[in-house]
Structures are given as structure tokens and as C-alpha cells.
């Protein structure tokens, strides 16, 4: 079985210090949390950025500052900016971090309900355009899917030449599709042969999905973007603490942890650091 790639989504765009005071906003805080995750065993930092007051932004220069701070602390880690941004942002806003030529970035493959009146819009033209730009710039897409239909769309776009093999998927479960072992087995069996996958379980499902993925040969995403608790009712002190828990589970199940360079080989990424 391949070594386990751990991705840490250190802050997201929605969770706040009111949810957990350790959620990072400033450049220094983002660097600190990335370092805590990296030292614990994460090889990929999934990156949203904020202004100092916590407001989410896709501003290219804010991304640049945060990436430089992370790189100073974690020289070889894979930094994966989000092109999802926050609900209501334009495509042009969302694409800004791609101009910095990261090794990876997220590419959302469908529109979904985020709760209440919030809709995260990704039209067919948006998806194809994001994929085209990433291909042109040599950025590896992490294909984010929230249900089985989005996997089918990604496969269609692959056949049309917009998404290139080998594809890497991130199954975000617990938002639109249930976060159960049955659902994870179903969606992970739906991707093309030769693809790789990670699962992000939202909220209380985070570690259930992590354990299932470790046993099934997939990879794992944890972090404050998805869950702020280390156990029921107990807030995590850092992103690193969440990663450490995944490492413990992996060791119990006999799965080794991938370094950033090993993750690059598994995901077919050419290093840029």
C-alpha cells in the first residue's frame, strides 16, 4: 500500500476564531499553523488566506506573503492554494493565486448548497476555464468533489481533454453527500483507474473518514477548515494536533506517512520549491 499523504486545511474561508481561537488569520498565524501541521506529518498545506480581521480574500499579494512565510518555515512542503475562495467571489478573484504558479491548486467540479441561502457556483464554463489555465501553467489540480455527480463531471471533462491523467480527487463528505464508509467506498470506486484520492470528512466525521481512507489505501485531509475539535467537545489546540491524531491512527493500522517529496512522486508533481 502507498504511503499516506496527509493534507492539512489550516483555516478555510468560513470558520472563525469564535469557533476556535486558534484559527489563523494573520500571515504569522498562518505560518505557525502550517508549520505545526508540517512537523506533525502533513506533506500538503491546503491554503485559504484571510486579512488580519479574518475576512477571507483571494488577493494575490496576500497569498504571496502567506506562501513565503510557510516556505520559510517548511521549505519542502507542498502548498495547495484554494481556487474556491468564498461564496460570492468572481472567477477572476478566485483564480488569483494561480498566477503565483503553485505546484497544486484546488478545482471544484460542481455547484453545491453550502447551507441556508449560500450556493457555491461552479458552472461548466468555470470548471473548464480553471482546468485550462492550470494546465497551461503546469499546476496540478486537486479535483474537489462533494458528491458522485461531480466525479462523473470530472470524468467527462477528462475525456474532453480538460483534466489530464493521472487525476487526483478530494472527496469532501458531510456537506452534500453523507460521510459514511459506505458512501466513501462508493465514490472512491467511481474514479478512473490510475487516479489517486483523498477524503475530507466534515465536522464529527473527520476521523471516521480518515480511518476508513487509511485502511482503504486512500489519503487524508484534516484541519480547522473542516473540523475544530480533537475529540467530542474538546477544541484542538492546533492544526498539528489534528495531524498527530491521523498519524497515530495510521501507525496503528500499519500505514507509513509520506514525506512531501514522496507525495510528489505519488501524485506525479514536479517540484517547484
Phi and psi torsions of 73, nearest 5°: -90, -30
pLDDT bucket at 273, cuts 50 / 70 / 90: low
Nearest to 65 by CA among 22, 33, 28: 28
Q: Which fold has domain 6-267?
A: TIM Barrel (3.20.20)
Cα(102)–Cα(116) distance, rounded to whole angstroms?
33
Instruction: Decide: residue 133, CB within 10 A, 0-12 exposed, 13-18 middle, 19+ buried.
Output: middle
Mean pLDDT, residues 154-173: 97
Mean pLDDT, residues 28-38: 98
For the chain, the average pLDDT equals 97
Mean pLDDT, residues 27-41: 98
Mean pLDDT, residues 203-232: 98
User: pLDDT at residue 64 above 80?
Assistant: yes
pLDDT digits (tens, 9 = 90+) for 201-216: 999 999 999 999 999 9
pLDDT bucket at 272, cuts 50 / 70 / 90: confident
Q: pTM of the predicted model, to two decimals?
A: 0.97
Cα(271)–Cα(4) distance, rounded to whole angstroms?
19
What is the number of H-type helices and E-type strands within the chain?
Answer: 9, 14
Cα(38)–Cα(78) distance, rounded to whole angstroms?
10
pLDDT of residue 269: 95
Cα(151)–Cα(154) distance, rounded to whole angstroms?
5
Q: What is the CA radius of gyration of the chain?
A: 17
Amino acid at each position: 500500500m502507498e504511503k499516506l499523504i496527509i493534507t492539512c486545511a489550516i483555516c478555510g474561508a468560513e470558520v472563525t476564531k469564535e469557533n476556535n481561537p486558534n484559527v489563523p488569520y494573520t500571515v504569522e498565524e498562518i505560518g505557525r499553523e502550517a508549520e505545526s501541521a508540517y512537523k506533525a506529518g502533513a506533506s500538503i498545506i491546503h491554503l485559504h488566506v484571510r486579512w488580519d480581521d479574518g475576512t477571507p480574500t483571494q488577493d494575490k499579494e496576500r497569498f504571496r506573503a502567506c506562501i513565503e512565510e510557510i516556505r520559510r518555515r517548511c521549505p519542502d512542503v507542498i502548498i495547495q492554494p484554494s481556487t474556491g475562495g468564498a461564496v460570492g467571489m468572481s472567477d477572476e478573484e478566485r483564480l488569483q493565486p494561480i498566477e503565483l504558479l503553485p505546484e497544486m491548486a484546488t478545482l471544484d467540479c460542481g455547484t453545491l448548497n453550502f447551507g441556508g441561502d449560500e450556493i457555491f457556483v461552479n458552472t461548466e464554463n468555470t470548471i473548464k476555464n480553471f482546468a485550462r489555465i492550470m494546465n497551461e501553467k503546469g499546476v496540478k489540480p486537486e479535483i474537489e468533489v462533494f458528491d458522485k455527480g461531480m466525479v462523473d463531471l470530472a470524468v467527462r471533462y477528462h475525456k474532453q481533454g480538460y483534466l489530464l491523467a493521472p487525476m487526483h480527487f478530494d472527496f469532501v463528505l458531510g456537506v452534500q453527500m453523507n460521510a459514511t464508509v459506505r458512501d466513501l467506498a462508493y465514490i472512491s470506486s467511481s474514479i478512473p483507474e490510475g487516479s489517486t484520492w483523498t477524503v475530507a470528512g466534515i465536522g464529527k466525521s473527520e476521523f471516521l473518514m480518515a480511518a476508513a481512507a487509511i485502511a482503504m489505501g486512500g489519503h487524508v485531509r484534516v484541519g480547522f477548515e473542516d473540523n475544530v475539535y480533537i475529540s467530542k467537545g474538546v477544541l484542538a489546540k492546533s492544526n498539528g494536533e489534528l495531524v498527530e491524531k491521523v498519524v497515530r491512527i495510521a501507525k496503528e493500522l500499519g500505514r507509513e506517512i509520506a514525506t512531501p517529496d514522496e507525495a510528489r512522486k505519488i501524485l506525479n508533481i514536479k517540484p517547484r520549491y
